[in-house]
Amino acid sequence: MELTSNRFKQNASKALVDAQLQKALGNVEKGFIAKRQKSADALPEFDALRDNARDIKNHVLAHLDLYLEAYETKVTAAGGHVHWAETAEDARRIVLDICKRVGARTVTKGKSMITEEIALNDHLTANGIEPVETDLGEYIIQLRGEHPSHIIAPAVHLNKDQVESDFRRVHTHLDAGRDLSEPVSLLSEAREVLRQRYFAADVGITGANFLIAETGTSVIVTNEGNGDLTQTLGKVHVVVASIEKIVPTLEDTSQILRVLARSATGQDMSVYTTFSTGPKRPEDPDGPDEYHVVLLDNGRSAMLGTEYQDMLRCIRCGACMNHCPVYHAVGGHAYGSVYPGPMGAVLTPSLNGIDETGQLPNASTFCGRCEAVCPMRIPLPKMMRHWREREFERNLQPAVARYGLKAWAFFAKRPKLYRLFAGMGMPVLSMMGGASHRFRSLPLAGGWTKYRDLPAPEGKTFQQQWAERQSRKPEAA
């Protein structure tokens, strides 16, 4: 997708006046938060599990090379193939080569943010291969030519009526008079349509929530079972996953699974948690003939050893965006990048560079709710601040903001001068505020007074009044 992160402000302003979007975003705010809270409250050891999950990933990141090689060995031993992709372009080429070699005409896809990151669908389409998204949300946005607005709920920006009209527009072979007024009827229709596509597909492409070094297994979690059909019915299963998805053992996987669904949807476990190891064995009743794993770096190894390394612990649960007041206000598309919300505000600059994405780490109140709910305890605000530091070092922020900050810092570092000016200014400003004690508008304060009144100062500064009080005290000398 085209990166429009530097138009975040404009995107956001449009989103704020989009009544349909605002209505849909209300569901994010209400639904996810209460469910996660209930699920976390029901598990006394939830916070201890979060610590454990964090420690597992920290250990992996400290020994990533070791675990990646161990993983490759196990995949190969199980009859699968591992392909190393340094860039998005490499990954696209590898997947296309596999599809071409087996003469694929259509591929089914399980929900995968990594294939969004490498823009795989566009690449396959351009090469005459039709990708079919099988996750309901992904299927809907594919019909609409859109991108996911949320990493686990890609169509969360839409409402039911929009989906109904899309289905009527595209599923023209079905009875025009059918009843699609209930969400379940939309789901059934998508299932019916997609069922045919699974059987016709030559290749099934999925992402992975985990890659297990101990066994060479890829793991996906879904609620619709579409991922299972995608990866077992095609002749070839291609897993596209980024290198930080590695976990050492099955036991570690189980540990992190216990915080994943709870943080994401408030479920104890997702409906389907599917483990795939290699292609179909002779004794297996079903499964793919070929099993490939494309391991994508795309800038991640460069994050190791930096102040952004902790971001590689992310398990893509979406809790940070579910709890973000900025995401609630503008939705995922405003971010103009593959990954929206707080995790995107940290990851996108790492993947795409800060020059094109500087708005993202700035568009945060630092309320800290994302970090408070992150199952992997990723210090998201801290890392957003680090991105602001990188910007500041290179003078990437707007000149007005830079000079304003420098002027303020000049006085903040000179208490005597600061007191002098504050002591002169505040009483004047207070008088200007008059009996209402507030301003509806004030020169240079337009950013504030556009939407709210500015409270007037009370009069003399605290420092002035304190000094007067001290001088009245006999013992103060």
Partner 1 sequence: MTSNAMNAAKRPQVGLFATCLVDLFRPSVGFASVKLIEDAGCDVHVPVAQTCCGQPAYNSGDRADTREIAEQVIEAFEGFDFVVAPSGSCASMLKKHYPGLFAGDAAWEDRARKFSEKCHELVSFLADVMMVRNTGASLEGSVTYHDSCSGLRELGVREQPRKLLAQVRGADLKEMTDSDVCCGFGGTFCVKYSDISNAIVTKKVTNIDASGADMLLAGDLGCLMNMAGKLKRIGSKVEVRHVAEVLAGMTDKAPIAGGGK
* Spatial separation of the C-alpha atoms in residues 46 and 30, rounded to whole Å: 22
Nearer to partner 1, 200 or 409 (CB): 409
Please state the closest distance from residue 38 (CB atom) to partner 1, in A: 16
Residue (of 281, 254, 371, 218) closest to 79 by Cα position: 281
User: Which residue in 105, 181, 353, 366 binds partner 1 (CB under 8 A)?
Assistant: 366
Please state the closest distance from residue 64 (CB atom) to partner 1, in A: 24
Nearer to partner 1, 330 or 343 (CB): 330
403 binds partner 1 (CB under 8 A): no
369 binds partner 1 (CB under 8 A): yes
Token pair belonging to 52: 């454990």
Give, to the nearest 10 degrees, the angle between helix 380-393 and helix 341-352. 40
Question: Cβ(261)–Cβ(210) under 8 Å?
Answer: no
Specify the 3-state DSSP secondary structure of 428.
helix
Residue type, 77: A
Nearer to partner 1, 103 or 425 (CB): 425
What dihedral angle (degrees, nearest 10) is formed by the CA atoms of 54, 59, 60, 65? 160
From residue 255, alpha-carbon distances to 54, 201, 251, 252, 314 in Å are 10, 34, 6, 5, 15
Nearer to partner 1, 101 or 437 (CB): 437
Tell me the per-residue interface mask from 258 to 287 with partner 1, x by CB under 8 A, - otherwise: ------------------------------
Residue (of 342, 382, 372, 341) closest to 40 by Cα position: 372
- Near partner 1 by CB under 8 A, which window of 88-96, 152-160, 175-183, 442-450? 442-450
User: Which residue in 409, 420, 428, 432 binds partner 1 (CB under 8 A)?
Assistant: 409
Please state the closest distance from residue 163 (CB atom) to partner 1, in A: 25
Using CB under 8 A as the binding criterion, the count of chain residues that bind partner 1 stands at: 67
Token pair belonging to 260: 């994943």
- Near partner 1 by CB under 8 A, which window of 104-112, 179-187, 230-238, 325-333? 325-333
Nearer to partner 1, 93 or 419 (CB): 419
User: Which residue in 413, 443, 471, 472 binds partner 1 (CB under 8 A)?
Assistant: 413
357 binds partner 1 (CB under 8 A): no
What dihedral angle (degrees, nearest 10) is formed by the CA atoms of 174, 178, 180, 181? 170
Strands 81-85 and 290-296, bridge-based pairing: parallel
Nearer to partner 1, 207 or 342 (CB): 342
Token pair belonging to 279: 């292609």
* Spatial separation of the C-alpha atoms in residues 278 and 281, rounded to whole Å: 8
Question: Cβ(216)–Cβ(115) under 8 Å?
Answer: no
- Near partner 1 by CB under 8 A, which window of 90-98, 167-175, 200-208, 411-419? 411-419
Which residues contact partner 1 by CB under 8 A?
9, 12-13, 16, 325-326, 328-330, 362-369, 371-372, 385, 387-393, 397, 401, 405-406, 408-409, 411-413, 415, 418-419, 422, 426, 435-438, 440, 447-463, 465-467, 475
